[in-house]
Amino acid sequence: MSPRTNTAAATSTWQLGDLTVNRVGFGAMRLTGTAPFDHGVPRDREQSIGVLRRAVELGVNHIDTAAFYFSATRSANELINRALAPYPEDLVITTKVWPGRDPSGAWWWATPAQLRGQVEENLRQLGRDHLDVVNLRVPPGRRAGSIGEYLGALAELRDAGLIRHLGVSNVTSEQLAEALAITPLVCVQNPYGLGASSEDRALLRLCGELGLAFVPFFAIAGSGRETGPAAHDSEAVHAVARAHGVSVAQVRLAWTLHQGPHVLAIPGTGDPDHLAQNMAADALRLSEEEMAHLTSLRPAGAS
């Protein structure tokens, strides 16, 4: 592996517990195909491996993944293992549990007792003896309920040495409060981007006040989610991109990073050119006027 060029290493950092990460990381979901999971055409294996290695060369030391990121012929965790093991000492790999997929690709949701098996699956695929950060990913249908039993099970695995730090994903402020009453956390990973609701913005601010990293997913895709068209690609967003000579995706990432020093980005791609653009977003400085205008945009289709 060639030496790092430190494009991101010279930029701002944040602490995930005792782990220091650069604020622009890498999301592994898209490594397995041209669309997430088993939809679309599988990416070239060597290209995906090359993108991972290039990301680390550019300064990425925070990779977000999951055992359920796989297609018929590709597994994100196994690609990470193949590309980067033996792992750099400063590399932080974050994964998530509770959702799972069987070999056919069908989704299932673990019981608290099954979380250990999901943790061990990630360990086996990544070739590690512990996981740096594990996020408890809350199902869409459980965002009004308790997550205490599940988080307690993960805390036991942390105490057993299988996990270093814990986080939560797709949670409400009430669930975050419940989680913090059970165990220390280092991050909250929730959907966030242009057009975020007032509730989402309040949770982002709360994380800053608590010293927790806020790690948005779908920051580029917006309300279109992972497979739909990006919301807010209005003339206003394009105008900012033209003014800076950058892509719309870079504007959306830069806006997200401007939300606070505790906000991390994990844009994913299987394209080397897009990788370089994403990494450059941290250096993009938006004016107060541009920030205010972008913040005022509403989700596509909102009344």
Nearest to 168 by CA among 160, 158, 178, 159: 178
Whole-number pLDDT of residue 236:
87
pLDDT digit string, tens, across residues 80-133: 999 999 999 999 999 999 999 998 889 999 999 999 999 999 999 999 999 999
Residue 43 lies inside a defined structural domain of this protein: yes
| Tokens read off for 192 | 């966030």
Q: Are 247 and 241 in contact (CB under 8 A)?
A: yes
| Tokens read off for 53 | 């290695």
In the chain, the number of structural domains is 1
173 to each of 49, 65, 146, 232, how far by Cα in Å? 37, 24, 12, 26
Q: In this prediction, what percent of the chain has a pLDDT beyond 70?
A: 87
Q: Which residues are catalytic?
A: 69
Amino acid identity, position 149 = E
Say which residue the tokens 């942390």 belong to. Answer: 158
Q: Are 136 and 151 in contact (CB under 8 A)?
A: yes
State the chain's mean pLDDT as an integer: 89
Whole-number pLDDT of residue 72:
85
Q: In this prediction, what percent of the chain has a pLDDT beyond 90?
A: 77
Give CA torsion, residues 128, 187, 144, 256, to 10 deg.
Answer: -120
Structural domain boundaries enclosing 210: 19-295
Rounded CA-CA distance 44/33 in Å is 8
Whole-number pLDDT of residue 219:
82
Residue 69 lies inside a defined structural domain of this protein: yes
Residues 6+ apart with CB under 8 A from 125: 67, 75, 77, 78, 81
179 or 220, higher pLDDT: 179
Q: Are 92 and 86 in contact (CB under 8 A)?
A: no
Whole-number pLDDT of residue 301:
47
Say which residue the tokens 């701002």 belong to. Answer: 12
pLDDT digit string, tens, across residues 91-106: 999 999 999 999 888 9
Half-sphere exposure of 286 (CA within 13 A, CB side): 27
| Tokens read off for 149 | 């039993």
Q: What is the mean pLDDT of residues 178-205?
A: 95
106 or 40, higher pLDDT: 106
Give 205's pLDDT tier (boundaries 50, 70, 90).
very high
Residue 230 lies inside a defined structural domain of this protein: yes
Rounded CA-CA distance 114/111 in Å is 5
Backbone torsions φ then ψ of 168, nearest 5 degrees: -130, 155
Whole-number pLDDT of residue 54:
97
Residue 6 lies inside a defined structural domain of this protein: no
Give 234's pLDDT tier (boundaries 50, 70, 90).
confident
pLDDT digit string, tens, across residues 141-174: 999 999 999 999 999 999 999 999 999 999 999 9
Whole-number pLDDT of residue 8:
42
Residue 138 lies inside a defined structural domain of this protein: yes
Whole-number pLDDT of residue 85:
98
Whole-number pLDDT of residue 223:
45
Rounded CA-CA distance 95/23 in Å is 17
CATH number at residue 200: 3.20.20.100
Residue 300 lies inside a defined structural domain of this protein: no
Long-range CB contact pairs, 143-151, < 8 A, 24+ = 143/170, 143/171, 143/172, 143/175, 144/172, 146/175, 146/178, 147/171, 147/175, 147/178, 147/179, 148/178, 148/179, 148/182, 149/112, 150/98, 150/112, 150/115, 151/178, 151/179, 151/182, 151/183
For the whole model, what pTM was predicted?
0.91
Residues written for the chain: 303
Query: What is the DSSP pairing of strand 19-22 with strand 13-16?
Result: antiparallel
Instruction: Determine how many CB atoms are found less than 10 A away from the CB of residue 103.
Output: 7
Whole-number pLDDT of residue 2:
40
Q: What is the mean pLDDT of residues 9-25?
A: 87
Whole-number pLDDT of residue 7:
42
Residue 107 lies inside a defined structural domain of this protein: yes
Beta bridge partners of 97: 136
Is the predicted pLDDT of residue 283 greater than 60, yes or no?
yes
Give 208's pLDDT tier (boundaries 50, 70, 90).
very high
Whole-number pLDDT of residue 224:
43
Give 6's pLDDT tier (boundaries 50, 70, 90).
very low
1 or 252, higher pLDDT: 252
Is the predicted pLDDT of residue 294 greater than 80, yes or no?
yes
